[in-house]
Chain A
Amino acid sequence: MAFFLETLLGGLMAGMLYSLVALGFVLIFKASGVFNFAQGAMVLFAALAMARFAEWIPLHLGITNPVAANVLAFVGAGVVMFVVAWIIERLVLRHLVNQEGTTLLMATLGITYFMEGLGQTIFGSSIYKIDIGMPKDPVMILESTFEGGILINKEDFYAALIAAALVALLSVFFQKTATGRALRAVADDHQAAQSIGIPLNRIWVIVWCVAGVVALVAGMIWGSKLGVQFSLTTVALRALPVVILGGLTSVPGAIVGGLIIGVGEKLSEVYLGPYVGGGIEIWFAYVLALGFLLIRPQGLFGEKIIDRV
């Protein structure tokens, strides 16, 4: 029982991190109907900016306090993501209003390659580290309830907490503020949104900014776990099955989808692994997503789109 719980908790925490990346996809899809291929590149770009700023700030500004340096680096990287969002809207999206979804998708593919190249040109292409002082040592809990207790990875635990806080923040933003309402309105109908005075361009900048900040948080957490390197872009690939499972238009879907995949990966690895020779963790999510595409293509929470002839 203790072992099962340990696996389950490990899966939930890993799942929270998948959700974080998936959230970036969902935000942009909701507000502009674009599947943003560049989300992975944005994660890398943001993580690179943060890692390098954290290096440069003590060097050039003389701020040696690690907390202050990290906070400054985070804010700096946030500003960079804001500028990126603004430039993308100005140079790309503005000219593609009312174009087909495929056109926009191809545009985000272009943005992907551009950002990967630009990020490594500006910030360098070695492996960097982000050290936000997360404790690496595991901790035992519930020792009195179970024999031997449950081993929890503290780093994963804090990462999951940060992710959960961000998700809560975003839900409040979407549900309780006028801007959030405007974002939902734009997602539903561009023309009607404009007719009541919602400026499309500004909304797009806002949504890409929010997606940029989500990418930054994801990049920070994944970067501190794995190191900031090019392979960080593949984190986005891990999040693809999550959005297929949860539905492209649903924020709660991204969370639940992430948790299901995180838990599913870990449990299947532990309990099914021995029978098929292991390695399930790598392909489990994709097979699950494939199954969903066959049975429920709109995902668990996605809007069911009925096309009328």
Chain B
Amino acid sequence: MTSKKIGDVILDVKNISLRFGGVKALTDISFDVREHEIRAIIGPNGAGKSSMLNCINGVYAPQDGAITFRGQAFKYMNSHQVATMGIGRTFQNLALFKGMSVLDNIMSGRNLKIKSNILLQALRIGPAEREEIAHREAVERIIDFLEIQAYRKTPVGQLPYGLQKRVDLGRALAMEPQVLLLDEPMAGMNVEEKQDMCRFVLDVNDEFGTTVVLIEHDMGVVMDISDRVVVLDYGKKIGDGTPDEVRNNPDVISAYLGTSH
């Protein structure tokens, strides 16, 4: 990981507060993400990790604060705009298109990039065919990369959980995002599946230079693969820094292990 060049701040989260009625999901959260790094958000259950991700992704509209992406500040955007700007995501509870094949699921990630006329697409002629082939090649590279060649035509609903998680990642990768948001990519996996997923996340970061923001429960995994870690607890930020700094932060230790009173 030493060879990796970490760049400037690409995503800057400033003073975000999010409330649902009287429930404070997030209070005054600020952190930044630098280009090419793997940034983890950790915290116990209900700490507000997924809420944070959903704010960046445009699913929730925070009441206060702003998010700056590549110099452009926005308070709230819808998911469609976020996707157009180059932020992709995966889901904690799988949200795949279950009736569609693996190939179609990943192809759908390229929808934003398909430009040709719908009539030409239907008839598969001229530029539309060349475009379809180009996109298919890109999708095939992703399928190879994720080692799911054998399941190309299988409806995703029939795949085991670990493979569905890969398809979810593949669909997000197909967008060629600059920032990839991963919502608990290893949740519910066994040790081998976790190792595979770690490898994929590291390779994505390394080979494609994609900036990764990931939420994870598994402390071991997070400390191994991330460059910097944000720790949330009850919607507040209690720690921020390299894995080693965070590990030795007394607030973090008490949040995870409890304190004696």
Complex Cα gap A179–B117 (Å)? 10
B83-101 CB mask vs A (1 if < 8 Å, else 0) is 1100011010001111110
Task: Assess whether A172 is in contact with B80, with CB atoms less than 8 Å apart.
Answer: no
A196 and B111: CB pair below 8 A?
yes
A250 to chain B, nearest CB (A): 10
Q: Does A162 contact B (CB under 8 A)?
A: no
Selected from B84, B96, B118, the residue in CB contact (under 8 A) with A197 is B84
Which residue of chain B is the closest to A182 with respect to CB atoms?
Answer: B111
Q: Is the CB of A184 within 8 A of B97?
A: yes
Contact of A199 with B by CB under 8 A: yes
B108 on the interface (CB 8 Å rule)? yes
In the assembly, what is the distance between CA of A43 and CA of B111, in Å? Answer: 32
Query: Do residues A177 and B171 form an inter-chain contact, with CB atoms below 8 A?
Result: no
A184 to B98 CA separation, bound complex (whole angstroms): 10
Known: A192-B96, A198-B80, A199-B80. A181 touches B122 (CB 8 A): no
Question: What is the minimal beta-carbon distance from A214 to any residue of chain B, in angstroms?
Answer: 17
Is A189 an interface position by the 8 A CB rule? yes
Interface string of B45-88 (1 = CB under 8 A from A): 00000000000010100000000000000000011101110001
Q: Give B181's nearest chain A residue, CB to CB.
A: A195
Asked if B99 contacts A195 (CB within 8 A), the reply is: no
B121 within 8 Å of A (CB atoms): yes
B99, B122, B171: the one contacting A196 at CB < 8 Å is B171
Nearest-neighbour CB distance to chain A for B178, whole angstroms, equals 13
Tell me whether A194 and B97 are in contact (CB under 8 A).
Answer: no
Chief secondary structure at chain A's binding surface: helix
- Say which size band chain A's interface belongs to: 20 to 34
Answer whether residue A303 sits at the interface, using C-beta atoms and an 8 A cutoff. yes
Measured between beta carbons, the chain A residues less than 8 angstroms from B99 are 184, 187-188, 303
Q: How large is the interface on B (under 10, 10 to 19, 20 to 34, 35 or more residues)?
A: 20 to 34
A176-B89 contact given A184-B97, A188-B98, CB 8 Å threshold: no
CA A173 to CA B121, docked complex, whole Å: 9
* Distance of A206 from chain B, by nearest CB (Å): 10
- Chain A nearest CB from B132 CB (Å) reads 9
A197 touches B121 (CB 8 A): no
Q: How far is the CA of A197 from the CA of B110 in the complex (A)?
A: 9
The answer to whether A59 has its CB under 8 Å from any CB of chain B is no
Complex contacts, B107 vs chain A, CB 8 Å: 181
Contact mask B212-249 → A, CB, 8 Å, 1/0?
00000000000000000000000000000000000000
- Check B95–A197 contact: CB distance below 8 A: no
Would you call A196 and B124 a contact (CB within 8 A)? no
CB of A181 to closest CB in B, whole Å: 5
Instruction: Give the distance in Å from the alpha carbon of A188 to the alpha carbon of B168 in the complex.
Output: 14
Output the nearest chain B residue to A172 by Cβ-Cβ distance.
B122
**Is A103 engaged at the interface, CB distance under 8 Å to the other chain?**
no
* Complex Cα spacing A199 to B96, Å: 17
B114 touching A178, Cβ below 8 Å? yes
* Interface core residue of B98, B108, B114 (most chain A CB under 10 Å): B108
A185: Cβ under 8 A from any B Cβ: yes
List 15 A-B pairs, Cβ < 8 Å. A177-B118, A177-B121, A178-B118, A181-B111, A185-B108, A192-B95, A192-B96, A195-B79, A195-B82, A196-B108, A196-B171, A197-B79, A198-B108, A199-B80, A200-B80
Closest 8 CB pairs of A and B: A197-B83, A194-B79, A192-B95, A188-B97, A178-B114, A197-B112, A177-B121, A199-B80
